[in-house]
Amino acid sequence: AASRVTVLGLGSMGSAIGRTFVERGYRTTVWNRTAGKSAPLVDVGATASATAAEAVAASPLVVVCLLDGAAVDEVLASVDDVVAGRVLVNLTSGSPAQARADERWVSEHGAEYIDGKIMGDPPYVGTPNFTVLLSGSRSAFDAHESALRVLGGVGYHGEDPGFAAVEFMAQVAMGYEMLIGFLHVLKLVRAEGGDVTEFAQRFAGSLAAYPPLLTGIAKAVASGEYPPDLGPLRVQAALMDDMIDHRESVGVETMRMRQVKELMDRRIADGHGEQGFSSLFELLAKEG
**Least Cβ distance, residue 8 to ligand NDP (angstroms):** 8
**Least Cβ distance, residue 214 to ligand NDP (angstroms):** 24
Residue 138 and residue 56: Cα distance in Å, rounded? Answer: 21
**Least Cβ distance, residue 82 to ligand NDP (angstroms):** 16
Residues of this chain that bind ligand NDP (CB under 6 A):
9-14, 32-34, 37, 65-68, 71, 74-75, 92-93, 118, 121-122
Please state whether beta strands 27-31 and 4-8 pair in parallel, antiparallel, or not at all (unpaired): parallel
**Least Cβ distance, residue 16 to ligand NDP (angstroms):** 8
Closest to ligand NDP by CB, 124 vs 281, is 124
**Least Cβ distance, residue 2 to ligand NDP (angstroms):** 21
Q: What are phi and psi of 162, to 5 degrees?
A: -80, -15
DSSP states along 240-261: HHHHHHHHHHHT---HHHHHHH
Closest to ligand NDP by CB, 55 vs 75, is 75
The four Cα atoms 64, 69, 71, 76 give a dihedral, to 10 degrees, of 60
- Which residue of the chain is nearest ligand NDP when measured via CB? 11
**Least Cβ distance, residue 76 to ligand NDP (angstroms):** 10
Closest to ligand NDP by CB, 61 vs 66, is 66
Closest to ligand NDP by CB, 151 vs 263, is 151
Closest to ligand NDP by CB, 75 vs 240, is 75
**Least Cβ distance, residue 134 to ligand NDP (angstroms):** 14
